Structure 1
Amino acid sequence: MPETSAKDGYNSTFLQQVQEGSEQNLNRCYQCGNCTAGCPLSFAYDIPVNRIMRMLQAGERHAVLSSKAIWLCASCETCTTRCPNEIDVARIMDVLRHMARREGLVAEPPVRHLWDAFLKSVEKYGRVFEAGMMANFVGRTGRFWTDADLAPVAIGKGKLGFRPHSIKHQNEVQRIFARFREQQ
C-alpha cells in the first residue's frame, strides 16, 4: 500500500514507481521548461509537461494520474529531444498512462477508446485494420459523424480498406497479447 498523506496527497513511492517503470531518473529534471516550450499539444493540456514532471518529483500521484495531459500526449518525443538532461519525457508520459489506466483514472475516455480499438484490431488481425478499428471506436464512443468526411478521401487514396490485410505469423501476435494478459 502506497504511503499517502491525507493532507496533501503526497505518495512516497510514486516517484520510485515511475522511475522504475520508465527507467528514467526524474531527479535530473531541474524545471528548465524546454519540454513544455516544444510540446505541440501543450495548448490543450490542463497541466504543462514541466509541471507534470515537478508533480512527479513531489509525489502528487492522484493529481498526475488524473490529468488530461497524460492522455493528450501524442508521444511525438519533442520533449525528449529538447531535454538538456536526456530524460525520456515521452516514455514517462506513457508509463503514467498505463498507471492511470490500471487505477481507472482515465481523464480522456475517447483517447482510451481509440487505444482499445487499435489494440483489439492488432490482436485480431496482426496489424491494424483501419475500417474495423474505426467501427469499434465509433461503437464505443457513439461519435458516428466524427471525421466521417475524411472516409471518402481515404478510400479514394486506397488508405482505408474494407477487408483486413493478411500477415504471416498472425498467431504469434495473438500469443503476445495472451502472454500480456497472463501477467496481469
Structure 2
Amino acid sequence: MPTPSATHRFDEDFLKEVQQGSEQNLTRCYQCGNCTAGCPLSFAYDIPVNRLMRLLQAGEKHAVLSSKAIWLCASCETCTTRCPNEIDVARIMDVLRHMARREGLVAEPPVRHMWDAFLSSVEKYGRVFEAGMMANFVRRTGRFWTDADLAPVAIGKGKLGLRPHAIKHPDEVQRIFARFRDQR
C-alpha cells in the first residue's frame, strides 16, 4: 500500500483540481472507514477507499492516480451513502479515473477498454449496442474466448441484440460528445 514518502511534496494543485472537479470538500473526511467497510469491491482494491481519501488529502498524486482501486470502483455509491459527512466519494473516484486517464496512468487496462468500448457504442448509436460493444472490447483486449459461451444463451433470451436500437434525436448525443471533446 503506497505511503507518503520522506521526499513527498504536497501537491496542492492536485487537491484543488480533485475538489473542483468533484465539487467535494476533501478536508471533511476524517477517516472513519465507513466507505471501506461498506464497499463491495474493497477486497479487490490495492488501496482501501478511506486510505485513498487520506492519500488525496496528503496530495499524493502519483499514488492515487496509479491506484487500481479507482479503476475497479463500480460507482455503486455505497461509500457515498455511508459517509457521515455526506462526501460523494463515488464522484471523487470518477474524477480520479478521468485524471488518471489524462495522465496516462491506467492501472487496469481491461477496465479502460470496456469503458472505451461502451462510450464508443453510445457515441455511434446513441445508446449501448451490446453486441457491438463486446466485439469492440474483444478487439481492444484480444480476449477472444472470454465468456464466448455466454453469447448464444444471451442471444437466445433476447438479452443481446444483433442490431443497434434506434433512438430519437441522435444529434443530441453527438452534441454531448462534441462538448466533451471541446473541454479536453
Give the TM bin, normalised by the shorter chain. Answer: over 0.9
1:132 and 2:132 correspond: yes
2:155 equivalent in structure 1: 155
1:145 equivalent in structure 2: 145
1:30, 1:182 → 2: CA distance? 37
1:165 equivalent in structure 2: 165
SS in structure 1 of the partner of residue 92 of structure 2: helix
Q: Which moved more, 1:10-19 or 1:53-62?
A: 10-19
1:10, 1:149 → 2: CA distance? 49
1:14 and 2:14 correspond: yes
1:123, 1:113 → 2: CA distance? 15
Shift of 1:12: 2.0
Shift of 1:10: 2.8
2:58, 2:6 → 1: CA distance? 14
What are the equivalent positions in structure 2 for 1:20-35 lying under 5 Å apart? 20-35=20-35
Number of matched pairs:
180
1:109, 1:47 → 2: CA distance? 17
1:102 and 2:102 correspond: yes
Is contact 1:121-1:133 (8 Å) kept? Answer: yes
Matched-pair identity in %: 87
- After superposition, what is the alpha-carbon deviation per residue over 1:82-112, rounded to whole angstroms, capped at 9, x for unaligned? 0011100000000000000011100000000
1:60 equivalent in structure 2: 60
- After superposition, what is the alpha-carbon deviation per residue over 1:63-97, rounded to whole angstroms, capped at 9, x for unaligned? 00000000000000000000011100000000000
Q: Which amino acid aligns with 1:40?
A: P
1:129, 1:25 → 2: CA distance? 37
Shift of 1:8: 1.5
- After superposition, what is the alpha-carbon deviation per residue over 1:18-49, rounded to whole angstroms, capped at 9, x for unaligned? 11110011111000000000000000000000
1:64, 1:167 → 2: CA distance? 39
- Label 1:175 to 1:6 Cα distance change in 2 as closer, same or farther (>3 A): farther
Shift of 1:9: 4.6
1:183 equivalent in structure 2: 183
Shift of 1:7: 1.7
1:93 and 2:93 correspond: yes
TM-score by length of 2: 0.95
Shift of 1:14: 1.5
RMSD of aligned Cα (Å): 1.3
SS in structure 2 of the partner of residue 64 of structure 1: helix
Is contact 1:55-1:64 (8 Å) kept? Answer: yes
Is contact 1:9-1:62 (8 Å) kept? Answer: no
| Consecutive aligned runs of 4 or more in structure 1 exceeding 6 Å deviation | none
1:113 equivalent in structure 2: 113
